[in-house]
Structure 1
């Protein structure tokens, strides 16, 4: 990592793809700044004004300040030409030349899975997210869950990773060390304390606007071997992330939901249009990504681990007949939101099966 690496990203008008093009032509940032205007204009077909900015070494003073700022806040800047730059990210055509990392950079060398979804997560989505991360963490030691620290599914994915001993990385739409949203500052601190990292491509001179969120989504996809959309309405940032992953030839997966649930309309469409592989279990994810994991060691007669409330709800299925949600609410005494969450848990554990008409039966 050199001052020229950061200075290259500070050249006005050059952009991410412009940096990548110059690096392809000259090999590294120092060689770019050592080139003449004629070499930049001829060999790289660079516009004359951009070539002059590089020849004048514009951005060097600002880059020195950025390096000092990184030291002050414990931020590590990694260039795409450095050996420890995330290898999967380097494969995408619009990779950022400099990545800013706070925390354990080695978390990005693990097996990374992007888990994204709606900010308005339902109890179903949160429960599924937790169960899938739990299953993966039990099978894989070097798992890293990558998400965007946003409200809803993003936060649920980070928290599930922390709860089950996996590392997690938050990709932010702002420059470090700030955290957006600010309400998740404690969650960001937990991520750092548990061996994870906060990541951004933005330097401190960046003017923040709404486009940073869309650009952030490509990094989530680019850092990961595959992208799992847990819940999404018909439009939203998680579908943008899935689109990027597909464009990078990374597997896209989605968790199905009820046809009547707005929060699952986007994921159901991904599955129906064959743009995403349907995922129900952690094993489905391992199979889709081609990851080898530890074999499940539970004996054949082992009972699923259920919470006290899940066992209480399961006890309502005494006679083998299907029961409606209304009947279960009356028998168990749970409010509708709690009941929906518990039913999801029992479905994922294979203890109940949903029938048409919002009825459930014990297999």
Structure 2
């Protein structure tokens, strides 16, 4: 089974698209897996507990992004985390199998704590969310998890918890997952300013951005501050326009020629930004159009989430029964 998902704290951006969404669609269409895709609203509360309206409003936006990129509810089960209470139960059991010291060593958590500026006021739910994530994967016996490169420490922690559970309770009912990662160099797309793409930093290009939004954002992209005149030689290292062209433009020969011309002098920033706009707009236009179509039937999208959540819960209950039996707490069969 394939298991993956996203937190509903806003619309999804092109970092999500390249980092995992494209992999999910390709694997779904391969017909080899049974994909379960979770909208992790419970996890979103770990750092948005004071803003439940944000999570509520974002739920549908994330679902629309899923459908727009090609995730098909006829091939993939899309469900909502809080609609499967067995996930919370398994998380509670898993918390007894991992130490505080191990959680503190998780590099992904350490980085995110620093980025969010929690200081000494780290919400307990945020601190232990790798355990919740392990339960999300294990409850559905996720064998394959398409994720970005930065999530490998989370997967390793999941594998450790699964091994500990199976060893403690002398069973093999839970499965150690393996990650499927994007092509090298595409795992983490920097934002418009060259730092990590983030909603909170306002440096992201969203899948739902209009053509005008896209152009305004590309015009603001960081290039080479020393490239003042067109005839000046420019640097491509750290130049976000070329970083994006390397990722999104399939015409590698043209990109190589543009790089050479830019480095030699004679190619202006606005010209390459216009070219990048064409490349990105060609990629996003069909996504944008499909999203608009699905958005016209919001009740249908919500029903899709309800149906997927009911199917997911039925699967979760099967695994949870086996977990309780292994732990010796299935007292009434």
Higher percent of residues as strand: 1
TM-score with structure 2 setting the length: 0.32
Larger Rg: 1
Higher percent of residues as helix: 2
TM-score with structure 1 setting the length: 0.30
**Larger RCO, structure (CA 8 Å, separation 6 or more):** 2
